[in-house]
C-alpha cells in the first residue's frame, strides 16, 4: 500500500511543476502583451541651437570734407575827403590914389621918339614875293580823265532797279588819247556795275594831254561811281 501512495505522489508533484511552469509562461505572455499594447513614446530629439556670429567688417572712416573757406571780408572803399578850402575874407586895403603924371606933348618929346612911334603906327608892308602853287600836271590830267569816263558811264538797269550805290576802281594806260590795258582794281560788289565801268573807260573820249605828258604812256587809276 505504501508503494502505491508513493506512486500516487510522484504524478501530483509533476502536475504542480507543470502548472507552475504554465503559470509562469502565462505571466510572461501577459507581460509581453501588455508591453506590446503600451508602446513607449519616442524619445524627444534634442536640438542644439546654432549660433551664427555676424561677420563685421571694419569700415574705414570717410575723410572729412574740407571746411569751406570763410567769405572774404569786403573792405569798404573809403574815398578820401577833400578838404574844403577855407576862404578867408580880407578887408580891402585902400590904395592911395596918385595923380597921373602929365604926358609929354609931341612938341616936348624928342624927334627920334616921335618918328619911332609913327613907324609903329604905319602898317607893315611885306616885300616878300607871293608863293605860286605848283600843280602836278599828271594829277590835274587824272581829274580830267575821271570826268570824261564818268560822263560816258551808263547805270545798268539792274542797279537802277535795286537802287544800288557804289563805285569801282579801274586802272588803264593812256597815251595821246589811246587807252589800253584796262583792268578792274576794286569791285563795286555788283558785276553789272563793274562791266559798265570797264566799258566806260574803253568808250570815253579823252582830252588832249598837257605838253609835259604829250607822247608819254602813263598808267592811271580812277573811280567810276554808280549814283
What is the CATH classification number for the domain harbouring 156?
A: 3.30.1150.10
pLDDT of residue 160: 94
Residue 171's beta-bridge partner residues? 183, 221
20 within some domain? no
pLDDT of residue 134: 60
pLDDT of residue 137: 79
Nearest CA to 196 out of 161, 162, 163, 167 is that of: 167
Q: In the 8-state DSSP scheme, what is residue 34?
A: H
pTM equals 0.42
Q: What is the pLDDT of residue 104?
A: 47
Domain count, the chain: 1
Which residue's C-alpha cell is 508503494? Answer: 3
Three-class SS state of 167: strand
Residue 163 lies in a domain: yes
- Give a yes or no: residue 185 inside a domain: yes
Q: What residues have CB less than 8 Å from 64, skipping those under 6 apart?
A: none
Scan for cell 612938341, then name that residue.
107
pLDDT at 25: 87
Query: What pLDDT sits at residue 152?
Result: 94
Residue 53 lies in a domain: no
pLDDT of 69 reads 74
pLDDT of residue 107: 47
Domain that holds residue 177: 137-226
- Which pLDDT value is given to residue 2? 45
Whether 208 and 137 have beta carbons less than 8 Å apart is answered as: no
- Predicted pLDDT at 120: 57
In a domain, 207, yes or no: yes
- Whether 46 maps to a domain, the answer reads no
Cα-only R_g, the chain: 75
Is 188 a member of any domain?
yes
Tell me the C-alpha to C-alpha distance, in Å, between residue 211 and each of 63, 132, 138, 142, 176: 98, 20, 11, 14, 11
- In this structure, is residue 169 part of a structural domain? yes
What is the CB neighbour count within 10 angstroms for residue 172?
A: 21
Q: Which residues of the chain have pLDDT under 50?
A: 1-2, 100-108, 111, 113-114, 125
Amino acid at each position: 500500500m505504501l508503494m502505491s501512495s508513493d506512486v500516487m505522489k510522484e504524478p501530483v508533484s509533476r502536475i504542480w511543476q507543470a502548472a507552475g511552469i504554465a503559470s509562469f509562461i502565462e505571466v510572461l505572455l501577459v507581460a509581453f502583451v501588455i508591453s506590446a499594447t503600451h508602446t513607449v513614446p519616442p524619445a524627444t530629439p534634442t536640438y542644439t541651437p546654432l549660433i551664427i556670429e555676424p561677420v563685421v567688417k571694419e569700415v574705414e572712416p570717410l575723410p572729412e570734407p574740407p571746411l569751406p573757406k570763410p567769405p572774404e571780408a569786403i573792405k569798404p572803399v573809403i574815398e578820401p575827403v577833400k578838404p574844403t578850402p577855407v576862404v578867408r575874407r580880407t578887408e580891402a586895403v585902400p590904395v592911395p590914389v596918385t595923380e597921373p603924371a602929365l604926358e609929354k606933348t609931341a612938341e616936348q618929346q624928342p624927334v627920334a621918339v616921335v618918328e619911332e612911334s609913327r613907324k609903329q603906327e604905319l602898317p607893315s608892308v611885306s616885300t616878300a614875293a607871293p608863293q605860286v602853287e605848283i600843280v602836278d600836271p599828271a594829277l590835274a590830267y587824272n581829274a580830267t580823265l575821271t570826268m570824261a569816263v564818268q560822263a560816258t558811264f551808263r547805270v545798268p538797269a539792274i542797279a537802277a532797279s535795286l537802287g544800288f550805290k557804289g563805285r569801282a576802281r579801274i586802272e588803264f594806260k593812256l597815251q595821246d588819247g589811246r587807252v589800253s590795258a584796262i583792268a578792274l582794281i576794286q569791285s563795286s560788289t555788283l558785276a553789272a556795275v563793274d562791266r559798265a565801268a570797264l566799258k566806260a573807260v574803253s568808250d570815253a573820249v579823252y582830252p588832249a594831254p598837257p605838253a609835259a605828258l604829250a607822247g608819254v604812256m602813263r598808267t592811271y587809276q580812277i573811280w567810276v561811281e554808280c549814283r
